[in-house]
Amino acid sequence: MKIKSVLFTLLLVTLMLTFSSAFAESTTITDILGREITLEVPPELVVLTGKKTATIIEAPFMFAYGKDHVATSWGGQDGGKFNALIEKTTPEITDGSVEAVAAMQPNMIILKSYTREDAGLAFEETGIPVMYLSFETIEDYHTDIANLGKAFGEEERADEILAYYDEIVNRVAENSAQIADRKKTLLVQFSETDGVYALKVPPVSWLQTEIVEMAGGDPVWKDIGLNANSWSEVNFEQIAAWDPEVILVVNYFADPKVSVETLKSEPGWDMLTAVKEGQIYPFGKDLLSWDSASPRWGLGLLWTQQTLYPELADDIDLDAEIMKFYQWFGLSDEVIQANLIDVYHAEPELVP
């Protein structure tokens, strides 16, 4: 009797192991850097860490899997306010060092693509599969979202997310096709330290330039070969020489509405064509700006076209678009309205 029960237990364990390995499907993914990684899908724990994670930190939470299996740090340009809105069960990472991450024994580590040389190689040495994400261009989005879907075992969801972005791109492209004269547009980042501010334009290869072009604008900074890897500071003289028809002001760390008022009061600005004709605008922002290569770029694209060509884009209902976009993160309508739509519409002094 004893022997029988031991044999039965062994058989049961063998069957369980067989079935469990059959369910844990192994897959190979080619990440944005062209590296092949093999992992069991879905992995139990994924850690998103390293430097320069602002553009990649949110996309995993557009998948149901992310909320219970992806651990990240919660900082960022908004001090983690948006991240705090997402209901998730994974803990916040406070120590993103290689040893601390390895001690968590994740099944996969996600890092920003261009940090591989500085930080990624050390993470790769741990033997844990490392997937790099870029999210810097629309083309990158197609690769990265698809890879996340594959890694999380949610390929259908990835297709739905990409279809969402494609629909926006197509809608905007249809409107842009009707534009005969593209408006000379300047997108400028305003970064301030108590009254002393710097104005910077993005590299030509970045999403901000792509957004302005797709929306039908003519980026005035496009043909001048600026630094390809970071924002470049420009002075007022250069802006006056460009004399754009529309100026879009981005501020990542404060209210761009206030930045616009500051610029309008500076000497000489009232003589620029864009300011004289009331065509200087704070770039769309709720808790975070919509121009950057974060998942909100779809909102940024819609906002830019509506701002540049309101007559062509009167079918765009931005409030509805905001609601639609944030539902990808599983946020309720009430949370979206109170924390994002109302903040977007808020008067300058009310913006947190």
Partner 1 sequence: MKRLNQFTPNQKILGLAFLLVAAFAVSCLAGRFPLPGLQSPVQLFSSPLNQTILVHIRLPRVIISMLLGMALSVSGLVFQTILNNPMVEPGFLGVSQGAAFGAALAIVAFNGKSSQIQLLAFLFGIAGLGFSILLANRFHFGHWVMRLVLAGIAVSALFSSGLGILKYLADREEKLQSLSFWLLGGTSGVSWDSLIPIIAPILIAFTILLLLRWRLNLLSLDDETALSISVNLKIERLIFLFCAVLVTSLCISICGLISWIGLIVPHIARKIFGANTHFTVPASMLIGGILMLICDDLARVLFPAEIPLGVITAILGTILFLPIMTNKTIR
CB of 109 to partner 1, least distance (A): 18
CB of 292 to partner 1, least distance (A): 11
Nearer to partner 1, 149 or 295 (CB): 295
Nearer to partner 1, 24 or 224 (CB): 224
CB of 266 to partner 1, least distance (A): 8
Most distant CA atoms of the chain, gap in Å: 98
Nearer to partner 1, 50 or 129 (CB): 50
Length of the chain equals 352
CB of 214 to partner 1, least distance (A): 23
Nearer to partner 1, 19 or 253 (CB): 253
Nearer to partner 1, 87 or 270 (CB): 270
Three-state SS string across the chain, please? CHHHHHHHHHHHHHHHHHHHHHHCEEEEEECCCCCEEEEEECCCCEEECCCCCCCCCCHHHHCCCHHHHEEECCCCCCCCHHHHHCCCCCCCCCCCCHHHHHHCCCCEEEEEHHHHHHHHHHHHCCCCCEEEECCCCHHHHHHHHHHHHHHHCCHHHHHHHHHHHHHHHHHHHHHHCCCCCCEEEEEEEEEEECCEEEEEECCCCCHHHHHHHHCCEEECCHHHCCCCCCCEEECHHHHHHHCCCEEEEECCCCCHHHHHHHHHCCCCHHHCHHHHCCCEEECCECCCECCCCCCCHHHHHHHHHHHHCCCCCCCCCHHHHHHHHHHCCCCCHHHHHHHHHHHHHCCHHHCC
Distance separating alpha carbons of residues 34 and 330, to the nearest angstrom = 31
CB of 258 to partner 1, least distance (A): 16
- Residue appearing with tokens 């149901």: 64
CB of 50 to partner 1, least distance (A): 10
Residue ranges in contact with partner 1 by CB under 8 A: 51-52, 54, 75-77, 191, 193-198, 201, 221, 224, 226-227, 232-238, 240-241, 252-253, 267-268, 271
Nearer to partner 1, 158 or 201 (CB): 201
Nearer to partner 1, 94 or 193 (CB): 193
CB of 288 to partner 1, least distance (A): 11
Nearer to partner 1, 289 or 305 (CB): 289
Neighbours of 156 (CB within 10 A): 9
Per-residue CA distances from 201 to 213, 236, 269 (Å)? 14, 12, 17
CB of 55 to partner 1, least distance (A): 11
Nearer to partner 1, 65 or 252 (CB): 252
CB of 198 to partner 1, least distance (A): 6
